[in-house]
Amino acid sequence: MAETHFRYRVLAGYSGSTYTVRGLTLTKNWYYTGVAYLPVEFDQAAALQIIEIQSVSTSLLGPGYEDFGAPTVLFPKTFPLFAFPSVSAIGTVNDGAHTVAITVPFGTAVTALVASFSYNGSAIAISATPQVSGVTANNFTSPVVYTITGTDGTTQTVTVTVTVANNPAKDFTVFSFDAVGAVGIVDTVAQTVTVTVPNGTALTALVASFTGGASVKVGATSQTTGVTTNDFTNPVVYTITAADTTTKTFTVSVVVASTSSKVLQYFAVTSPVAAVGVISEATHSVEVSVPNGTTVTTMVAQFGKTGASLKIGATTQTTKSTANNFTSPQLYIVTAQDATTIKYTVTVTILP
């Protein structure tokens, strides 16, 4: 029995140019044969189109034989390219499974993504809605089914599934020792945290509160914010693992303040909204801006100080706990270990 071969001809393309399609080198208007079936493919970038002319037996494949009658145009009705240029994401096309899998960066809103694509066929739609590359927006919260219509009128569905990448964040955003009212200075470039604690603080069993990453360890020991104790007599190296499994290390160094130190290092509102204050050492003032509509009568603040205590009037302030009325500016008094004091005026402004 004669072996069945297939012939293909390049119908469009740059005259005299060669193209490689699935391992087969083709040139415009040349004829090719092969025992393996070569799926029809459209290369948009090269303006190249391949059609199956006819299957013939080896006995018919003589030199110059071109009389195959009317060619049968066979399109696989697939996506050679599917991408979301706005987020620099390119899909992986599986012709056999009729699927496209595409991962977009963390934080991408997928409810109105515009796809750029090329397809093999005469028309493309989602349900009854025609799709235009680079124009039509769709909601990819769930898999979206495209229907591609071939030139012969047959159709093929292709399911596009969008996955949002895991969060790559792995920086400390806040690092503090709440028991002594100390907040660290985080340097994400140098990958360091420097915390100044009040004079007299014991460093051998400090409990850190922190935010950042999906998990945090010191060596092989998992860290729980506000719970795990560590000895900070020497710098401690923390390893932060992001949700996408990438990691980053931070070296935490603790400095004990002098007996006369009385600095308000950090001030932020944590409730009912989150807002970080701007501290001016020159004027001993703190300015905090909050959104319009914020209730300022019972605001809770997080702060870092180098002194032994922090008060408003005679009321001792506890970080992340004490509520105050900021309808008017509040005067915070930082008292050093040697009993000297300094006052900071904290003003909360409601934005228009």
pLDDT, tens only, 235-279: 999 999 999 999 999 999 999 999 999 999 999 999 999 999 999
Distances (CA, A) of 91 to 77, 134, 141: 16, 15, 16
Q: Which amino acid is at 194?
A: T
How far apart (Å, rounded) are the C-alpha atoms in residues 291 and 192? Answer: 31
Per-residue pLDDT of 246-258, as tens digits, reads: 999 999 999 999 9
Whether residue 272 has a cis bond before it, omega within 30° of 0: yes
The pLDDT, as a whole number, for residue 76 is 57
Mean predicted confidence (pLDDT) in 39-49 = 33
- Within 10 angstroms of residue 264's Cβ, the number of other Cβ atoms is 26
Instruction: Tell whether the model's pLDDT for residue 17 goes beyond 70.
Output: no
How far apart (Å, rounded) are the C-alpha atoms in residues 137 and 131? Answer: 9
pLDDT over 70, % of the chain: 78
Delineate the domains of the chain, giving CATH numbers in brackets: 4-60 (no CATH), 81-164 (2.60.40.2340), 174-256 (2.60.40.2340), 264-350 (2.60.40.2340)
Closest alpha carbon to 259 in 307, 292, 226, 305: 307
pLDDT over 90, % of the chain: 72
Instruction: Tell whether the model's pLDDT for residue 325 goes beyond 80.
Output: yes
How far apart (Å, rounded) are the C-alpha atoms in residues 300 and 304? Answer: 14
The pLDDT, as a whole number, for residue 273 is 96
Strand-pair partners of 81: 118
3-class DSSP assignment, residue 31: strand
H-helix or E-strand spanning residue 267: strand 264-271
Contacts of 342 (CB under 8 A, 6+ apart): 262, 263, 284, 307, 333, 334, 336
Question: Dihedrals φ, ψ of 232, to 5°?
Answer: -105, 25
Instruction: Tell whether the model's pLDDT for residue 69 goes beyond 70.
Output: no
H-helix or E-strand spanning residue 192: strand 192-197
The pLDDT, as a whole number, for residue 198 is 93
Q: How many CA atoms lie within 13 A of 151 on its CB side?
A: 11
Instruction: Tell whether the model's pLDDT for residue 35 goes beyond 50.
Output: no
Strand-pair partners of 59: none
Instruction: Tell whether the model's pLDDT for residue 118 goes beyond 90.
Output: no
Per-residue pLDDT of 196-228, as tens digits, reads: 999 999 999 999 999 999 999 999 999 999 999
DSSP summary character for residue 91: P
How far the first Cα of the chain sits from its last, in Å, is 86
Whether residue 291 has a cis bond before it, omega within 30° of 0: no
- Within 10 angstroms of residue 63's Cβ, the number of other Cβ atoms is 4
How far apart (Å, rounded) are the C-alpha atoms in residues 235 and 253? Answer: 5
- Within 10 angstroms of residue 38's Cβ, the number of other Cβ atoms is 16
Token pair 């932060």 is found at: 240
The pLDDT, as a whole number, for residue 120 is 78
Mean predicted confidence (pLDDT) in 144-169 = 92
